[in-house]
């Protein structure tokens, strides 16, 4: 049995940052957990988010499966896992823009101030084409890249994003953004979509890790029959949503629009865990752990990172322990360690004067499956 050691470069790790997501642990976390794992192992992340665990598996030559109920998350994850070159990504973009693709262009103050009219037309044509057909590796990578450049700060020199001034990590609500741009006399400039895709593709896809088998499912980890996927997992590295954290779609509404959602802020969530009470939340997490255990090999190990948010009084440690004890399988909790203070990442909050609160301590739960469920 061959064991893998980490053999990657900083250039290969760039791709992990192709698009931000609301919460994401550093790539070093799953890389550390997967170091030394047997080369024939399958890795699972039932709450994959933007796919950091799956990308760490790719870096180490390991096969993996990721599951998330949010289409933005799974699109980013897939884009980082397909085996594709920078030229293929650029070609996919050029072919779409060369066609006279019909596209619905949203109207209103937000859209006229967020994007230059020509940029918006190009963007909508790309959106329409990718919604219609995103089966090829080149298109999957292009979709993830566009999600990353959809909005962000305006810097000196060549533009790095398609939008007017905006944070990269979350989309400002339309009314607030319009007031901000109007007050600061900020008008959108024309950004050539193809040229920006060309530059970004060369940055992210010029040097990528060797491709490995993977699958990403936009599904609910409570109900997706993991045991029928044809793989037995020996390692699970994941970070579930924190209790009370329900702003994934509203905070990413613009990227959600690109994935087929409405052209305004939406609070309608994809299928997700209920945050009504800590007890309900723990019971649903328990259902996920039961489902996961049914797809794992005996002795499989899990590392779960979990924390909390300020407006919920429930203790994160108690919620996760209740969930693990409530699973209908024999899980042995090996240890619980502090992972330090949580961080919402570089949210560029100063651009829109968003006030961030003091982060809360996160915990890492190390668990082993004692026997099949």
> What range defines the domain where residue 216 resides?
10-83+208-369
- For residues 276 and 78, the model is more confident at 78
pLDDT tens digit sequence for 3-62: 454 455 677 889 999 998 866 688 999 999 999 999 999 999 999 999 999 999 999 999
Handedness of CA 296, 66, 291, 28 (dihedral sign): positive
34 three-state secondary structure? helix
Q: Are residues 219 and 359 in the same domain?
A: yes
Q: Are residues 329 and 245 in the same domain?
A: yes
Q: Are residues 220 and 363 in the same domain?
A: yes
Q: DSSP secondary-structure letter at 99?
A: S
Q: Are residues 192 and 290 in the same domain?
A: no
Q: Are residues 193 and 213 in the same domain?
A: no
Q: What are the residues whose beta carbons fall under 8 Å from the beta carbon of 280, sequence distance 6 or more?
A: 274
| 249 vs 79: CA distance, rounded Å | 19
* pLDDT value at 117 more than 50: yes
Q: If you average pLDDT over residues 262-278, what whole number do you get?
A: 75
Which pLDDT value is given to residue 152? 97
Show which of 179, 205, 231 is a domain's final residue. Answer: 205
Q: If you average pLDDT over residues 298-319, what whole number do you get?
A: 85
Which pLDDT value is given to residue 156? 87
Which pLDDT value is given to residue 101? 78
Q: DSSP secondary-structure letter at 125?
A: H
High-pLDDT (> 70) share of the chain, %: 87
The residue among 99, 103, 120 whose CA lies nearest residue 190 is: 120
Q: CB 145: neighbour CB atoms within 10 A?
A: 27
Q: What are the residues whose beta carbons fall under 8 Å from the beta carbon of 310, sequence distance 6 or more?
A: 357, 358, 360
For the chain, give the mean pLDDT. Answer: 89
Q: Are residues 171 and 38 in the same domain?
A: no
- For residues 156 and 159, the model is more confident at 159
Domain count, the chain: 2
Which pLDDT value is given to residue 273? 67
Show which of 205, 228, 244 is a domain's final residue. Answer: 205
**Angle of helix 86-98 relative to helix 193-205, nearest 10 degrees?**
160
* pLDDT value at 353 more than 90: no
- Which stretch of 32-41, 261-270, 289-298 has the lowest confidence by average pLDDT? 261-270
| 361 vs 222: CA distance, rounded Å | 26
| 295 vs 60: CA distance, rounded Å | 22
pLDDT level of residue 315 (50, 70, 90 thresholds): confident
Two tokens, residue 74 = 């799974």
Which pLDDT value is given to residue 12? 80
Q: Would you say how long the chain is, in residues?
A: 373
Which pLDDT value is given to residue 354? 46
Which pLDDT value is given to residue 250? 83
pLDDT tens digit sequence for 87-107: 999 999 999 999 987 899 999
Which pLDDT value is given to residue 358? 55
Which pLDDT value is given to residue 344? 43
pLDDT tens digit sequence for 128-156: 999 999 999 999 999 999 999 999 999 88
pLDDT tens digit sequence for 181-210: 999 999 999 999 999 999 999 999 999 999
Q: Are residues 217 and 357 in the same domain?
A: yes
Q: If you average pLDDT over residues 253-267, what whole number do you get?
A: 93
No. of helices (H) and no. of strands (E), the chain: 15, 7
Which pLDDT value is given to residue 347? 32
Q: If you average pLDDT over residues 310-339, what whole number do you get?
A: 89
Instruction: Output the DSSP codes for 35-50.
Output: TT-BTT-EEEETT-TT
Give the residue ranges of DSSP H helices in the chain: 10-13, 28-34, 52-59, 71-81, 86-98, 109-114, 117-132, 137-149, 174-183, 193-205, 248-251, 253-258, 278-293, 316-326, 349-352
Q: Are residues 69 and 217 in the same domain?
A: yes
Which pLDDT value is given to residue 11? 77
| 126 vs 131: CA distance, rounded Å | 8
Which pLDDT value is given to residue 194? 99
């Amino acid at each position: 049995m061959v064991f893998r050691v980490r053999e990657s470069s900083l250039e290969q790790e760039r791709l992990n940052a192709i698009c931000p997501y609301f919460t994401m642990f550093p790539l070093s976390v799953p890389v550390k957990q997967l170091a030394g794992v047997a080369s024939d192992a399958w890795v699972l992340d039932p709450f994959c988010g933007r796919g950091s665990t799956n990308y760490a598996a790719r870096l180490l030559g390991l096969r993996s499966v990721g599951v998330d109920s949010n289409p933005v998350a799974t699109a980013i994850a897939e884009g980082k896992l397909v085996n594709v070159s920078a030229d293929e990504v650029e070609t996919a973009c050029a072919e779409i823009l060369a066609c006279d693709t019909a596209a619905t262009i949203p109207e209103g103050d937000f859209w006229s101030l967020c994007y230059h009219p020509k940029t918006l037309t190009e963007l909508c044509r790309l959106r329409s084409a990718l919604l219609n057909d995103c089966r090829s590796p080149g298109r999957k990578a292009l979709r993830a890249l566009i999600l990353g450049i959809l909005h962000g700060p305006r810097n000196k020199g060549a533009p790095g994003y398609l939008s007017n001034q905006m944070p990269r990590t979350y989309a400002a609500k339309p009314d607030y953004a319009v007031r901000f741009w109007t007050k600061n006399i900020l008008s959108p400039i024309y950004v050539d979509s193809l040229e920006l895709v060309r530059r970004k593709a060369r940055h992210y896809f010029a040097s990528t890790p060797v491709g490995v088998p993977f699958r990403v499912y936009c599904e609910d980890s409570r109900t997706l029959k993991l045991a029928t996927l044809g793989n037995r997992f020996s390692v699970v590295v994941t970070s579930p949503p924190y209790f009370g954290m329900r702003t994934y779609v509203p905070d990413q509404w613009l990227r959600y629009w690109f994935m087929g959602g409405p052209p305004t802020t939406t609070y309608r969530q994809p299928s997700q865990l209920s945050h009504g009470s800590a007890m309900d939340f723990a019971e649903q997490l328990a259902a996920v752990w039961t489902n996961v255990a049914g797809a794992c090999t005996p002795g499989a190990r899990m590392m779960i990172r979990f924390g909390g948010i300020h407006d919920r009084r429930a203790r994160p440690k108690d919620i996760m322990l209740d969930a693990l004890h409530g699973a209908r399988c024999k899980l042995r909790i090996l240890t619980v360690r502090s992972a330090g203070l949580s961080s919402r990442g570089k949210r560029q909050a100063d651009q829109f004067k968003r006030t961030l609160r003091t982060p809360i301590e996160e915990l890492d739960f190390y668990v082993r499956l004692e026997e099949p469920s």
